[in-house]
Amino acid sequence: MIIGKSKIKIFSIINSSLRQSYGFDINATSTSVQPNSRSCLITLILALIIISLLTIVSLIIAIYTLASNTNKTITIQNTYAAATESTSTTDANSAPICTAFPVTSYQYSSTAPFQCSNYTNNSDATRNIVYTQSINYCDNTSPFNNQTSVWIRFLDPAGKVLINAPESPNRCGTVATGWYAGQYPAAAFTTASSIVCFFDSSNTCSACRSISITNCQTFFVFLLPQPNACNYRYCTI
């Protein structure tokens, strides 16, 4: 009991001293600590809730932005693919540039391609460049008039290959002589693509057609579409 009274007395002395020196009242503080702590706790919880909500909103915005950008990227890629496909189709179907010095493109293979064993033989002697008895022949008949070009292998007496230099008109049984203006493929199983020019009047390349040539090791095969008009013919040697 004496100890309890001593504690109370000491507490009163300390409280009196603090009140006089700093204006701080322990009793008053004791009674206000709990309400202030509760207020701080509520404020802290509200702050955490607001921060969480802002975080969620930011996350939703980020996801939406990412999805939008992804959709835009896919749309751009699809548009680019469509444009590329359209351009390729246009290039494939467009008329070649007729020039005596065309570009030759090459496609390489390590094995014999399909056309080296699937072709049509042509041994028509009237298409040989030395033939001059008539100029009434045209390459507007089979196999040249097929809806798709046909691979052809030339055999004697026609010759073995297309001529690759301009020859004056009225030879090889026609008016406009067709000559290959590109480069022949030197390597086996290589396919070269370029043009055949038709020499009419004084113009060595008055008209032209895109063709392909494959080197089948011991012979060449030619992918030849129908010429531009009658009295236009592929000439051989």
Regarding whether 182 and 114 lie in a shared domain, the answer is yes
Measuring CA to CA, how many Å separate 94 from each of 12, 88, 153?
Answer: 108, 10, 26
What mean pLDDT do residues 154-174 have? 97
pTM of the model: 0.61
Last residue of a domain, one of 15, 43, 70: 70
Rg (alpha carbons) of the chain, rounded to whole number = 46
Contact 171, 131 (CB under 8 A): yes
Domain that holds residue 128: 105-234
Regarding whether 134 and 43 lie in a shared domain, the answer is no
pLDDT at 27 over 60: no
3-state SS of 171-204 is CCCCCEEEEECCCCCCCCCCEEEEEEEEEECCEE
How do residues 126-151 score in pLDDT, each as one tens digit? Answer: 999 999 999 999 999 889 988 788 89
| Number of domains forming the structure of the chain | 2
pLDDT at 3 over 80: no
Contact 154, 161 (CB under 8 A): yes
Regarding whether 119 and 25 lie in a shared domain, the answer is no
Counting every residue, how long is the chain?
237
Residue 149 lies in a domain: yes
pLDDT recorded at residue 2: 47
Regarding whether 114 and 57 lie in a shared domain, the answer is no
pLDDT class for 31, splitting at 50, 70, 90?
very low
pLDDT class for 34, splitting at 50, 70, 90?
low
pLDDT above 70 covers a percentage of the chain that reads 74
Last residue of a domain, one of 16, 44, 70: 70
